[in-house]
Structure 1
Amino acid sequence: MGDYSSIRIGIVGLGTIGRIHAERISEADAKLAGADLDQAARNSFEEEFDAPVYSDHQALLEAGVDAVIVGVPNRFHEEITINALESGVNVLVEKPLAHSVESAERIAAVAREADAFCVVGFTMRHSALTQRTVALRDEGRFGSISHVSVDYLRRGGVPGEGDGWFTDPDLAGGGVLMDLGVHIIDLALHLLDYPDVTEVTGQARSEFGSYAVDDSATALLRCASGQTVSIETSWHGTCSASNECRVRGTEAGATFDVVNEDVTVIDTDPDEEFETIAVEPNDMHLAEDREFVEAVAGESDVPGGTIEEALTVQRVIDAIYTSSERGAAVELHDEYNSSV
């Protein structure tokens, strides 16, 4: 990496995810600044990182930064991201892009015309395991990939134990699909090199809490190329914790967990032994933030998690909720024919 001591990155939202990013940005040797409405959060951030803090994102932008990382509740992504982009400031906005597909569309429209770039924090694509699997795909190891299946299942793990903003539909826009589902939808489509999604069938459920959002969901995506994606996600449920991804191709398949140490490759011959490829796990957030800083510095192309990919994920989530309500499949190109 180069010298990034002159690059100033503002963290908007100084809670858990904001501090995770701040720690990694510090490791990349870029300068930090922070903004939060909460005085205690500002004081703690200023003391820990020896960085200037501001009472809101507008004050941070006026003070001058090269980029911002947006880590606030989903409902507020739109205002902060658009304000930054219109000020010529690059943005990494935490997943999902927004709390609703309409809000995501408005962000995307501004991003397309902005002089700055905007990416979304789909952390799992930065896993060393994911990157090794993508390399195998690009080498042709799998042949033609027909299906990707991803689980992100917790036996118990509702953010804030059901009392935080993650379970507030007005702030989050949904439940586990907005929290964990976004990661695995992006991961699956990333492994398929983002084909057009044409049809979505899904069921969202709220079974184990008093909150008005989903705590588990199941979905099947059909792509224009005939490829398919299946996802399972839960905050809480009668299931074993899992974060497994399975790739099936015409020449071989693969299984991996984004935080484990190897990729298992399975050939078409049932008598052939599985191949285990050792991969050293990495810090996904550090990889993500280093890539972002390099792009802000102009040393690399705009990183993955582009605005159009994030918009696709948002539309898929919206379609899963719609399919769940209707009890029927949703055709994406019909559903969003005004914007595709």
Structure 2
Amino acid sequence: MNELISEEDAAAGRRLQLGFLGVGWIGRHRMKAILDSGVAEAAAIADPSADMAREAQALAPDARIVADLAAMFDQNLDGIVIATPSANHAEQSIRALGAGFAVFCQKPLGRTAAEVKAVVDASRTADRLLGVDLSYRHTEGMQQIRQLIRSNALGSIFAVDLTFHNAYGPDKPWFYDKNQSGGGCVIDLGVHLVDLALWCLDFPSVINVTSALRAGGKRLESKDRVEDFAAATLTLAGGEIIRLTCSWRLHAGCDAEIGADFFGTEGGASFRNVDGSFYDFAAVRMSGTSSETLALPPDNWGGRAAVDWARRLARGERYDPACENFIAVAEAIDGIYGAGG
């Protein structure tokens, strides 16, 4: 079993040795962010595409290209970063944790709450750090909004409106295969929205869910198809109402529409993308008819979740009970699918 980096090694400045499983666009982006942070080195790379593996190796010429996850277990690694199709996330994470490696995985961690719970259980049993790429938590705007909410500066939050419309939709076939993806725009985009709301509100229980799922504008009735539009309302234990909509290929008039609005008894806060961008966000605090800017672009947030996990691992952190909140998010997603028929 792999041993954690020791306190002596960390104090001496030894960089983590990481494996990168799946190095398509997002896998390479997270890999570059971690390498640029200086906290880790890429020791092993694995991808079914030889071209993708070579592109990743260009970022880390000393990394070894290996065949698959099993081959990574033979390397002297501190952790493994997983960016493979969604159907593989839970199984690969469980295997890596069981072999003694810390894991950072792309979202969703699993296609169902049962899969997510199994990964969290594996992290607890192995006493290894588990991270998930819920990247919007690490934007400057959402960090500021969460601080306002948790300090009670907005009073009691009673309503949250969430939006994520991707006017393009995924370009890989597996996203449209429910067995591979676990679902459509809800599990792809809605997972970020649900996570942001519950994370800001300190993960209260969801007591009721209603939803409507559509595919091609019509009610989703086939169990084999995935939704490309969803609207849902979640009622929380304290009476708070979360409303969300998400979609692929909506006629949005721009590349994307992304937003999270929080309304409290003493004020509100809004996080929104700028000019249809997938990357640029602004955040404002609202009071009556006036507003105050909290954050503006540029903000290089995309790789921060991965870097945060790597830095925590370098400090010797092990199982974190907070990862059990991943289950709460997955249960809410299950609820949206269940209520939508």
Match of 2:169 in 1: 158
Residue type at the aligned position of 1:165: W
Match of 2:267 in 1: 252
Matched, 1:100 2:112: yes
Cα distance in 2, alignment partners of residues 107 and 300 from structure 1: 17
Aligned residue pair count: 318
Alignment of 1:1-340 (within 5 A): 5-29=14-38, 30-32=40-42, 33-50=44-61, 51-154=63-166, 156-160=167-171, 163-207=172-216, 212-240=225-253, 241-257=256-272, 259-260=279-280, 262-267=282-287, 270=288, 273-298=290-315, 306-325=322-341
Q: Any unmatched runs of 5+ in structure 2?
A: 1-9, 274-278
User: Structure 1 residues 20 and 248 mapped into 2: Cα distance closer, same or farther (>3 Å)?
Assistant: same
Residue aligned with 1:98, SS: coil
Question: 1:147-203 CA distances to partner (integer Å, 9 max, x unpaired)?
Answer: 21110112x21111xx52111111101111111111111011111111111111111
Cα distance in 1, alignment partners of residues 263 and 239 from structure 2: 13
User: Structure 1 residues 78 and 256 mapped into 2: Cα distance closer, same or farther (>3 Å)?
Assistant: closer
Residue aligned with 1:17, SS: helix
Cα distance in 1, alignment partners of residues 68 and 131 from structure 2: 21
Cα shift at 1:275: 2.3
Tell me, yes or no, if the aligned pair for 1:99 and 1:172 is still in contact at 8 Å: yes
Cα distance in 1, alignment partners of residues 335 and 135 from structure 2: 23
User: Structure 1 residues 264 and 285 mapped into 2: Cα distance closer, same or farther (>3 Å)?
Assistant: closer
User: Structure 1 residues 27 and 289 mapped into 2: Cα distance closer, same or farther (>3 Å)?
Assistant: same
Residue aligned with 2:128, SS: coil
Residue aligned with 2:208, SS: strand
Cα distance in 2, alignment partners of residues 67 and 79 from structure 1: 16
Q: TM-score, normalised by structure 1?
A: 0.86
Cα shift at 1:15: 1.1
Cα distance in 1, alignment partners of residues 107 and 292 from structure 2: 34
Residue type at the aligned position of 1:201: T
User: Structure 1 residues 151 and 247 mapped into 2: Cα distance closer, same or farther (>3 Å)?
Assistant: same
Cα distance in 2, alignment partners of residues 21 and 182 from structure 1: 19
Residue type at the aligned position of 1:312: A
Residue type at the aligned position of 1:310: F
Residue type at the aligned position of 2:283: V
Q: Cα RMSD (Å) of the superposition?
A: 2.5
Match of 1:329 in 2: none
